[in-house]
Amino acid sequence: MADARYDAIVDFYVNGFSFAADPVSLELLDLLGPVEGLRVLDVACGHGRITRELARRGAHVTGIDIAGRLIAKARELEVSEPFGIRYIHADVTTPETLGEGEFDAMSCNFGLSDIDDLDGAIGAVSTALRDGGRFAFSLLHPCFAGGKDIAGAWPGTASYYDEGWWAAQEPRSALRRQVGANHRMLSTYLNTLRSHGLWLDRVTESPPAADWDPAHDADRKPVYLVASARKAPGPRG
């Protein structure tokens, strides 16, 4: 279960991922667009790093995550610095957890690869998003092949075409050594979005921060993928 994976490392995660000022987070927020006055859901919100930034920008925000200890941390932060955020401890893929058409926009920062049931998650996102609403998400690029002492998007003993959950072994992939990830081809993500009526709107492949070690070959390989999709009205499929 994903909740057990993250609940086991909550302190490591909270201490290592505290701010929403990194290039990927800023790109995600840019693709989501202005959120003032909008009802926004942050999927796989963790301890609320992106959730709080959305609230600072004037959104009416709800965060959802399956990891109970991370949600508890998010609620503690909400008490100490109130933004009016509502946090839900639940599996986003569970039917009727989110309702229908309740949100104007949604975000998911590096969460889709942690969710085992991608189809269920995207289906829930589409159902809960109003027609014309935007869903913005970020990922370790499915085509990232890794670098010195850092894992790529798929196991070194496999290939890009081998999808499934796996755990990294490389010493500098600290998070993925502990919680693993689901590797999926880029086509799987895009086709799943399309099957649930979410049409790709914008895509960016920005390089990482300047302090990345050159040995990672970040100047020659795609590292991150940030994208937004719009919910189309009418029948799905």
User: How confident is the model over 111-129, as pLDDT tens digits?
Assistant: 999 999 999 999 999 999 9
Q: Give every CB contact of residue 202 below 8 A, 6+ residues apart in sequence.
A: 31, 227, 228
Please tell me the predicted confidence (pLDDT) of residue 143. Answer: 93
Query: Which tokens go with 206?
Result: 């920005």
Categorize the per-residue pLDDT at 19 as very low, low, confident or very high, splitting at 50, 70 and 90: low
Write down the pTM of the prediction.
0.92
Q: What are phi and psi of 214, to 5 degrees?
A: -55, -25
Q: For residues 227 and 135, give the distance between their C-alpha atoms in angstroms, rounded to a whole number.
A: 8
Average pLDDT in the chain: 89
Long-range pairs of 51-59 with CB within 8 A, sequence gap ≥ 24: 51/85, 51/87, 52/20, 52/77, 52/81, 52/83, 52/85, 53/20, 53/25, 53/29, 54/29, 54/107, 55/83, 55/84, 55/85, 56/83, 57/29, 59/35, 59/105
Decide if 203 contacts 225 (C-beta within 8 A): yes
Decide if 110 contacts 139 (C-beta within 8 A): yes
Q: How long, in residues, is the chain? A: 237
Indicate whether 150 pLDDT > 90: no
Decide if 204 contacts 31 (C-beta within 8 A): yes
Domains and CATH numbers, the chain: 2-141+185-231 (3.40.50.150)
